[in-house]
Amino acid sequence: MAIANPAIAFEGKTVLVIGGTAGIGEATALCFAAAGANVVIAGLGAPQGRAVAAACSAYGLGEALFIETDVRQESQVQAAVQRAAQRYRRIHAAVNNAGIEGRFGPVQDATAEDFDEVIGVNLRGVWLGMKYEISHMLAQGGGAIVNTSSSAGLTGIANVALYTASKHGVVGLTKAAALELAQSGIRVNAVAPGPVDTGLLHRMIAGKIDVGVIAAGVPMGRISAPSETAQAILWLCSDAASFVTGHTLAVDGGMTVR
């Protein structure tokens, strides 16, 4: 018989999902909405963002709000956090999920512009989210933050060196911040998804590798659904994970076990 876990309830709480307009971020927003949270979705693509917010409102018990945000622009990230805090008074949990795939190919073929673009979104963008989320949570007495890394943040993956470097950086940021904040009531963790059925994966491998080949390389023999990573994020943000900080949870079908 299944036993309900009251620690996974988010009624009356507010969650900010940066990079919440598609893929894992969209699934995460819906997951928190289903758990009863007020969900603030920040990201690019206003039509999609508004659609996700509407779906959250229809699906969950709380409210949902979309704020168009480019994580490469510090002022926009700061404004998104401030607007969420002003609307709901407190941000109980935040998810930093915005990311891009970058160029596929040998590391020496990448340009300085390629490097700046990938690091600017995948690493600097996560840091900017953390910067303003942490400041708010310190003033409010605590919270939980989850950053989206990747299985590429736990191992090396050929032909996506810049993406791999950015996702390793997310793991490092997560660990350092967790230590700094361990006695402040703020927990900081990360998830490391393996291949997920999202636009990012399909753009990354388009014309280069068949998705079936990717699935065959996963010990569980398949790629995952975005909701599987979203459920891991939900748990890490919840009181059920109250003694977990500085951890990067692999959600990768066993890829990084080898």
Residue 146, domain CATH: 3.40.50.720
The domain containing residue 188 runs over which residues? 9-250
Cα separation of 229 and 111, whole Å? 31
Q: Which residue of the set 163, 166, 224, 238 is catalytic?
A: 163
Please tell me the predicted confidence (pLDDT) of residue 205.
Answer: 66
Query: Which residue ranges of the chain lie beneath pLDDT 50?
Result: 1-3
Please tell me the predicted confidence (pLDDT) of residue 1.
Answer: 37
Residue 156 belongs to a domain:
yes
Domains held by the chain: number: 1
Residue 258 belongs to a domain:
no
Q: What is the pTM of this model?
A: 0.94
Residue in the structure block whose two tokens are 């014309």: 207
Establish whether 149 is a catalytic residue. yes
Residue 199 belongs to a domain:
yes
Q: What is the pLDDT of residues 111-138, one digit of tens each?
A: 999 999 999 999 999 999 999 999 999 9
Establish whether 163 is a catalytic residue. yes
Please tell me the predicted confidence (pLDDT) of residue 101.
Answer: 86
Residue 257 belongs to a domain:
no
Residue 83 belongs to a domain:
yes
Residue 239 belongs to a domain:
yes
Residue 54 belongs to a domain:
yes
Q: Which residue of the set 149, 150, 224, 238 is catalytic?
A: 149
Q: Which residue of the set 13, 166, 167, 238 is catalytic?
A: 167
Residue 256 belongs to a domain:
no
Torsion of CA 80, 86, 90, 91, to 10 degrees: -10
Q: What is the pLDDT of residues 143-186, one digit of tens each?
A: 999 999 999 999 999 999 999 999 999 999 999 999 999 999 99
Please tell me the predicted confidence (pLDDT) of residue 61.
Answer: 80
Please tell me the predicted confidence (pLDDT) of residue 210.
Answer: 78
